[in-house]
Amino acid sequence: MTPDKRGGAQRLREGIDERLIFFGAFLRRPARVGSVIPSSRFAERRILDLAEVHRATTIVELGSGTGGTTRAILAAMPPQARLLSVEIDPRLHSLLRRIEDPRLIAHLGSAEDLRAILAEYRLGAADAVISGIPFSTLGRRRAERVLSAVTEALAPGGRFVAYQVSGAVERLCRPFLGEAHEELELLNIPPVRVFRWVKSA
């Protein structure tokens, strides 16, 4: 087998492994993962555009999953930017640690502790926070704690983008960041709603 074919076979195995780990995480904690399969590249592109990662310096990703969106963010963000990816599931977090990019900080922990996590890595306020956390299944109080942490972590003019199957996050986030701009991405399984807020100056 040639090196190119071996590399292709390895990438295929890794892709299958990642999907199996993601599916296993869904089976163990469906309320925490929220979807059976990772986001499509079409959803990822819409998320990146709404978050404007191309002009961000500090980016936060909450609920990183298998790292598909993480890789898309890294590919789109400026060379000098930093990406803090926060994942609560240890097995999914282990996938993030495979990504070799010095701009990535892979943190195992809860989004509720976002301010402390940013301080731990000496990162300033976030220009963009991207979240795949399924807010509809968190429970109201926990969801509000996460959204409060996100609001406090955002820089003035910072963007919060949440991609969800449910629209619950729009209602939950309204007291913190006001009404959302919403787009629907049909080229995803299942179709996903992408919400964006901008923190006022």
The CATH number linked to 142 is 3.40.50.150
| 78 alpha carbon, distance to own chain's centre | 17
Mean pLDDT of 153-169: 96
In this structure, the number of other CB atoms found within 10 A of the CB of residue 172 comes to: 18
pLDDT of residue 19: 47
Is residue 29 domain-resident? no
pLDDT digits (tens, 9 = 90+) for 110-135: 999 999 999 999 999 999 999 999 99
H helices of the chain, in order, are 3-28, 30-33, 41-51, 68-76, 90-96, 114-120, 140-153, 168-177
Q: How many domains does the chain have?
A: 1
pLDDT digits (tens, 9 = 90+) for 16-46: 454 444 444 444 454 444 443 567 899 999 9
> Of 38, 33, 28, 47, which Cα lies nearest the Cα of 135?
33
Is residue 73 domain-resident? yes
> Of 122, 131, 128, which Cα lies nearest the Cα of 156?
128
pLDDT of residue 29: 52
Is residue 52 domain-resident? yes
pLDDT of residue 201: 79
> Of 121, 161, 130, 128, which Cα lies nearest the Cα of 61?
130
pLDDT band at 198 (very low <50, low <70, confident <90, very high): very high
* Residue 102 backbone phi and psi in degrees, to 5: -65, -15
CB 35 within 8 A of CB 190: yes
Q: What is the mean pLDDT of the chain?
A: 87
- Which structural domain range is residue 158 located in? 39-198
Helix (H) or strand (E) holding 196: strand 192-198
Pairing of strands 154-164, 126-131: parallel
Is residue 28 domain-resident? no
Is residue 56 domain-resident? yes
Is residue 12 domain-resident? no
Is residue 17 domain-resident? no
pLDDT band at 66 (very low <50, low <70, confident <90, very high): confident
